[in-house]
Amino acid sequence: MKKILIVGATSTIANACARLWAGEGSEFFLVARDKQKLQQTCADLQARGASAVVPYTMDANDDIVLHRAMLERCLETLHCVDICLIAYGTLPDQSACEQDVELAMTEFANNGSTVIALLTSVANLMAAQHSGTLAVISSVAGDRGRPSNYVYGSAKAAVSSFCEGLRPRLFKLGVHVITIKPGFVDTPMTQGLALPAFLVAQPQAVARRIVAGIERKVAVLYVPAFWALIMFSIRALPQSLFKRLNL
Amino acid sequence: MSLPLSSWGQYPPEPQAAHPCVWRNGLDEQLRRVTDGHGSTLPFGNGRSYGDSCLAGSGHVLHLRPLSRFIEANWQTGEICAEAGVTLGEVLQLAVPRGWFLQVTPGTRHVTLGGALANDVHGKNHHCRGTFAHSVLRFGLHRSVQPSMVCSPTENPQWFAATIGGLGLTGIISWVSIRLRKIQSSRIETTRVRFSRLSEFFSLSAELDPLHEYSVAWIDCLATGPALGRGVITLGAHCESGTLEVPAAQAMNVPVRLPVSLVSPLMVRIFNRCYWHMQPTSRKTQTIAYSPFFYPLDGIEHWNRIYGRKGFQQFQCVLPQAVAQDVLAELLNVIARSGMGSFLAVLKRCGDIASPGLLSFPMPGTSLALDFPQNRVLSNTLLPRLDAIVHEVGGRLYPAKDAHMSARDFQRAYPAWEQLEAMRDPALMSRFWRRVTQ
């Protein structure tokens, strides 16, 4: 029975993972900003076999000072955290961000800096307990800034880089850090996008790979696996070609 | 983005644009938005309806499968309440280890609760338990023209009756509460008996159905002459003691839709002959896991893809008991002569437990179901001939499986259709309903 903290618990990917863990009888501390959605998620996990589910309403983007109170409450409830999954984020409208500095900064904060703030606090919590896995949903978009979504991409790049550094620090303290890089997943986030069907993965399949990856203590996990190859190719494109493309 | 959706038979080939529903509280707004944008819509579950009853007239469906949370599960009373997109398989996943099972299950566990209700599905135990509606305690219904309501036999009973078997046209079913049944073991004690002609099926069924909760028969639809209607009857009951286990998920998959159908008359002839001869000649009893018993076809994921790009149609009819034997012989003769074979040919006696649903399919009698690859001969020759025979004796076809029945046949077979039409949500319209109500 695992003790699991999820921030962004109503996101489709996090929810699909939580259902798998609930089947094992895990205990949850779930954080999300929408109280009603969070309650529905809690009831679902409870029915699916979770031994306990505690909801906590918080908008991780509002004020990073709130993070600490949330983590204190989480520790009081779970006593220790075996898995912390950070899964919140938004997919910004790239062209709107190009015209609106404030929007660009907000989106960067939502996907980048507040995640880094939260990671810093969670890292210390887990370092103190000398155990557990810290799983962060970054994105393949962070592997190279692309004209179609470089605001999102650069925020995710910040998270991925942060995790690269955090992993060796926490490894020595018995804590594992896993950077999860999903490609396109069939979720509300990608609803408005026209994407090639064969590239869109189902959340259940994505969740199975994530849960298995956390179990195996993988460092960087592309989901589905073929994205490692796609992103390798995109990173390998020479600037002379890359700047002429609209990837 | 969401991938386009199609019905299980992939015929008619009308890919549906999906508008996924993820949260219950967003349903009303979503229904309004899609209707405003596209004129009308239709709830779509997991796409296990065969024909066009799950396809929206506008080509834009509300995809309810993502709405798949459990709301409450009481393992003391066996009452569970879940959102409409939860599949029966997901229910069993939780229920079986705790000693509970569905009261009524169709031949696939991949249907959603909302879909099972909207089509009032039945199973191998129809002769003793009736349709899915009998396990439904209450459900939530969202209509574009009035506030959402709870329906049960005592609350809004007219909406309860119209929505059961109502093909998703009365409103969006948001959640369903059902009562499960207790089991002592997840295994099924099953008996198979081979029969060599149709009359033997009827005598076996009359003798054995009352002794077994589950009963279904496979027939070799290409056998002619004295062997007409030969097949094998499979009976079953839940074991009285044993372990409670959910069998591991299936291993096989048809990864892509094949360019042409694998199902050809010769293939079916060879398969049917071998399959029949492989069956035990004397009554053979064994215990097996519940999934191969109830859901043999779920063992191959996406099995519908073997029918190729053109897809397939299922012909499922129910015939009144008094004439069933003679008319079945006539139907089988027509099919055998046409040479259009079907691997799957299922014969099932339906009982006389009436469903509360207005447009429920089963009636006391015998039901026959066959899958045919789609082609011109099927549409122009075979199906019209079969329809005429069924129509003449007062039988009817199953809307959940249908992509071809005429408006005249439908309206005669389902006289309550006008009641449903009057209660239909103006925002909802399926291709099927448009076809059969004109």
Segment A80-94 mean pLDDT: 96
Any idea which of B258-262, B288-292, B367-371, B374-378 has the lowest mean pLDDT?
B258-262
3-state class (DSSP) for residue A150:
helix
Q: Tell me the pTM.
A: 0.94
Listed residue (B135, B205, B172) closest to B351, CA to CA? B205
pLDDT of residue A17: 98
Domain contains B145: no
Query: How high is the mean pLDDT of chain B?
Result: 94
Write the CA distances from A216 to A176, A209, A213, integer angstroms.
10, 10, 5
**Which residue in the set A23, A37, A193 is minimally distant from B23, CB to CB?**
A37
Q: B1 or B263, which is more confident?
A: B263
The confidence score (pLDDT) of residue B266 equals 85
- How far is B419 from B193, CA to CA, in rounded Å? 43
The answer to whether B393 and B327 have CB atoms below 8 angstroms apart is yes
B348, part of any domain:
yes
User: So what's the pLDDT on residue B250?
Assistant: 67
Residues A113, A115, A116: CA angle, nearest 5 degrees:
65
Of B71, B150, B22, B73, the closest CA to residue A40 belongs to B71
Interface with B, mutate which of A13, A30, A34, A37 (most B CBs under 10 A): A37
Close Cβ partners of B15 (under 8 Å, ≥ 6 residues apart): B4, B5, B6, B59
- Cβ count within 10 A of residue B98: 15
- What is the distance between the alpha carbons of residues A18 and A35, in angstroms, rounded to a whole number? 17
Q: Are B79 and B177 in contact (CB under 8 A)?
A: yes
Question: Does residue B131 sit within a domain?
Answer: no
Model pLDDT for residues A119-129, shown as the tens digit of each residue: 999 999 999 99
- Residues of chain B with pLDDT > 90, as a percent, come to 85
Q: Tell me which residue of B141, B118, B121 sits closest to B130, measured CA to CA.
A: B121
Does the distance separating the beta carbons of A186 and B23 come in below 8 Å?
no
Amino acid identity, residue A144? Answer: R
- Domains in chain B: how many in total? 1
Per-residue tokens: A185: 């997943």
Residue B240 to residue B124: CA distance in whole angstroms: 19
Is B47 within a domain?
Answer: no
Cβ(B122)–Cβ(B131) below 8 Å: yes
C-alpha atoms less than 13 angstroms from C-alpha of A86 in its C-beta half-sphere: 32
Segment A4-60, tens digit of pLDDT: 999 999 999 999 999 999 999 999 999 999 999 999 999 999 999 999 999 999 999
**pLDDT of the residue at B299:** 87
Q: B-chain residues within 8 Å CB-CB of A23?
A: 93
* Residue B408 structure tokens: 């005249």
Kindly report, residue by residue over B12-58, the tens digit of the pLDDT.
999 999 999 999 999 999 999 999 999 999 999 999 999 999 999 99
Q: What is the residue range of B236's domain?
A: 187-405
CB-based contact A150:A94 (threshold 8 Å): yes
Cα first-last separation, chain B: 35
Q: Classify residue B283: in a domain, yes or no.
A: yes
Beta-carbon contacts of B143 under 8 Å, excluding residues fewer than 6 positions away, are: B149, B170, B171, B172, B425
Radius of gyration of chain A (CA): 18
Determine which helix (DSSP H) or strand (DSSP E) holds B366, and give its type and residue range. strand B365-373
pLDDT at B249 over 80: no
In-domain check, residue B136: no
For residue A47, what pLDDT is reported?
97
Task: Give the end-to-end CA distance of chain A in Å, rounded to a whole number.
Answer: 43
Domains of chain A with CATH codes:
3-242 (3.40.50.720)
Q: Does residue A1 or residue B80 have the better pLDDT?
A: B80
In a domain, B426, yes or no: no
pLDDT band at A62 (very low <50, low <70, confident <90, very high): confident
Contacts of B69 in chain A (CB under 8 A): 40-41, 43-44
Query: How far, in Å, are A67, A111, B55, B290, B401 from residue B432 at the CA level?
Result: 53, 45, 7, 33, 10
- Secondary structure (3-state) at A201: strand
Query: Which CATH number characterizes residue B251's domain?
Result: 3.40.462.10
Calpha distance A113→A94 (Å, rounded): 18
For the cut 90, the answer to whether the pLDDT of residue B281 exceeds it is no
What pLDDT is attached to residue A189?
85
Spatial separation of the C-alpha atoms in residues B69 and A211, rounded to whole Å: 20
Which residue type, as a one-letter code, is found at position A59? D
Helix (H) and strand (E) counts for chain A?
10, 7
Task: Output the 3-class SS for A50-108.
Answer: CCEEEEEECCCCCCCHHHHHHHHHHHHHHCCCCEEEECCCCCCCHHHHHHCHHHHHHHH
Residue B12 falls inside a structural domain = no
- The answer to whether B167 and B410 are in contact (CB under 8 A) is no
Mean pLDDT of B240-261: 86
Q: Does residue B93 surpass a pLDDT of 80? A: yes
Side chain identity at B397, as an amino acid letter? L
User: What are the residues of chain A with a beta carbon less than 8 Å away from any beta carbon of chain B?
Assistant: 12, 23, 36-37, 40-41, 43-44, 46-49, 184, 186, 188, 190-195, 197, 200
Integer Rg of chain B from CA: 21
- Grade residue A147 by pLDDT with cuts at 50, 70 and 90: very high
* Cβ-nearest to B1 among A46, A47, A195: A195
pLDDT tens string B379-395: 999 999 999 999 999 99
